Structure 1
Amino acid sequence: MSGFEPAFLSATSSSFFDLVSRLRPEALPLPGQHATAVPEGTTVLALRTAEGVLMAGDRRATAGNQIAHRRIEKVHRADAESVIGIAGTAGLALELIRLFQLELEHYEKIEGAPLSLEGRANRLAAMLRSQLGLALQGLAVLPLFAGVEKAAADGDAATGRIFSFDVTGGKYEEVSWHAIGSGAGPARSALRRLWQPGLTTAEAVEAALEALADAAEDDAATGGADLVRGIAPVIRMVDAAGERRIPEADVLAQAAAVARRRREEAEER
């Protein structure tokens, strides 16, 4: 006799999310759960580079007009070829990330091959759609998803793609860059000015730090780089070699150079 529950053996879908919905629905964040003064994640951005795609997020979470956390991580690895960032209700967003990571791992184990990048974005949209009840209560989660399509031939550069979403599960592909969260406006304005085709990884990191610094100047909920406490934004890169995090020491060093240049420019005005 098998020790598995019948639902495990009769599953008709490779979706981990669907399996949990049937077996343990209480494990999912469901409509009807309420919270007050919950931490909110703020600014996350992504931009295409010559090698793939880069995503960055500040570390601040707010609850009302208070700083709830200074070291929250809003940008995470989704799988070996993609990253996910979050803005909105922090607790639900982090749970969504964990569930999405399990969903991709489960699919690959069942099907023997990973989902396409488009398929991963579609699954994330479906998961968001299932949480519409929470969003209507004000507990909204907005992810930003990015990754690379494998090169068609050896030697070809990987193609970076960026997807944004709305609270209803609508999915939108962005062309070159995008930003979400309370500081998205100034961050997008900075990226519009700084982005250009063929950015190297170092140039993309600098552009991301500049955009977060602009967002932090205009949006109190965005933290930027905290050079006093040594807190660097989380920056992750995806290229043909896979997903990786830019070392925090490197980010802090480049953030210090950006801050120094911005201070010199301000003094010259």
Structure 2
Amino acid sequence: MTQPDPAQAVAAAAGSSFSEHLSRHHPDLLPSARRLGSVPAGSAAGAAPQATTIVSLTYAGGVLMAGDRRATMGNMIASRHIRKVFPADNYSVLGIAGTAGIALDMIRLFQVELEHYDKIEGTPMSLDGKSNRLAAMVRQNLPLALQGLAVIPLFAGYDTDRHEGRIFSYDVTGGRYEEYEHHSVGSGSVFARGALKKLWRPGLDEEEAVRVAVESLYDAADDDSATGGPDLVRKLWPVVYIVNAAGIREIPERELHQMAEELVARRSVAGLEA
């Protein structure tokens, strides 16, 4: 009699969704399982670091996502070094705005979710499938969002079926919306979107797209105190990822350093001429 394969038995029991497996067997490990008791709605937000501005835009052959490095607690700067943009897998990237601690847990769970699906099914999840799974995770966090601990992700990736970069935004209820050309979330998003509208154009190449992202974050930092611009003194630059047919790649700091210095010099000359 043939003995059942233990690995196959475990895979069948777990299913293709790691987060659903946790929900059934260890719900206390989910980011949304945190409970604040009788804390009044909205009063918890000031007690936790908040991640702010994320921008994303498409370019010829792919999509880009960038985030500043500042986190705030009320009127205080909680961190100047936080990373808000992360690879989700080889062909997608995830940025977060909102309550930093919960957002980082959600990112880790999402990364494991995609890796688990790939191992169980033997094939990567489609980009639409990834965006829908992320929507379900955001929806699970709604009780905490109503108490002020909201997480608003921005998701982007290269669609290997359609051969193009795509962008998805979300609301606190888990609503998923596909964005076109460019988008931004976070406290400085209004100012970043204004810059993106002026600077983005069809057919941008990769280098031009990175410059547009850096400049839009610079403009957001100019008007939003919760957004940190390039810091030439502390040598802090945005985190920038590009995703295309070759996969995902982080832009090296030396390139961002050069772009930031050129941007500051250009703006300084413009200010003196004015």
For residue 190 of structure 1, report the CA deviation from its aligned partner.
Answer: 0.2
TM-score scaled to structure 1, two decimals? Answer: 0.93
Which AA in structure 2 matches 1:149? D
Match for residue 235 of structure 1 among 229, 240, 251 = 240
Match for residue 129 of structure 2 among 119, 129, 134 = 119
Mapped to 1, the partners of 2:90 and 2:62 lie a distance apart of 13
Match for residue 159 of structure 1 among 155, 159, 164 = 164
* Matched residue SS, 1:11: helix
Mapped to 2, the partners of 1:142 and 1:244 lie a distance apart of 23
Mapped to 1, the partners of 2:241 and 2:99 lie a distance apart of 21
For residue 211 of structure 1, report the CA deviation from its aligned partner.
Answer: 0.5
- Asked if 1:61 is matched to 2:79, the reply is no
Deviations 1:13-47 (CA, angstroms, capped at 9, x unpaired): 31000011112111112252375510000000000
Mapped to 2, the partners of 1:175 and 1:9 lie a distance apart of 37
Structure-to-structure mapping, 1:165-244, within 5 angstroms: 165-244=170-249
Mapped to 2, the partners of 1:129 and 1:13 lie a distance apart of 21
- Listed as ranges, the gaps of 5+ residues in structure 2 are none
* Matched residue SS, 1:88: strand
Mapped to 1, the partners of 2:25 and 2:11 lie a distance apart of 12
* Matched residue SS, 1:207: helix
Runs of 4+ in 1 over 6 A off after TM superposition: none
Which AA in structure 2 matches 1:26? D
For residue 151 of structure 1, report the CA deviation from its aligned partner.
Answer: 5.8
Mapped to 2, the partners of 1:88 and 1:147 lie a distance apart of 21
Contact 1:31 1:133 in 2 (8 A): no
Which AA in structure 1 matches 2:262? A
TM-score scaled to structure 2, two decimals? Answer: 0.91
- Asked if 1:129 is matched to 2:139, the reply is yes
For residue 104 of structure 1, report the CA deviation from its aligned partner.
Answer: 0.2
Structure-to-structure mapping, 1:61-80, within 5 angstroms: 61-80=71-90
Q: Percentage identity across aligned positions?
A: 56
Which AA in structure 2 matches 1:164? S
Correspondence for 2:30: 28
How many residues align? The count is: 263
- Listed as ranges, the gaps of 5+ residues in structure 1 are 153-157
Which AA in structure 2 matches 1:75? V
Mapped to 1, the partners of 2:11 and 2:156 lie a distance apart of 33
- Asked if 1:83 is matched to 2:85, the reply is no
Mapped to 2, the partners of 1:227 and 1:86 lie a distance apart of 24
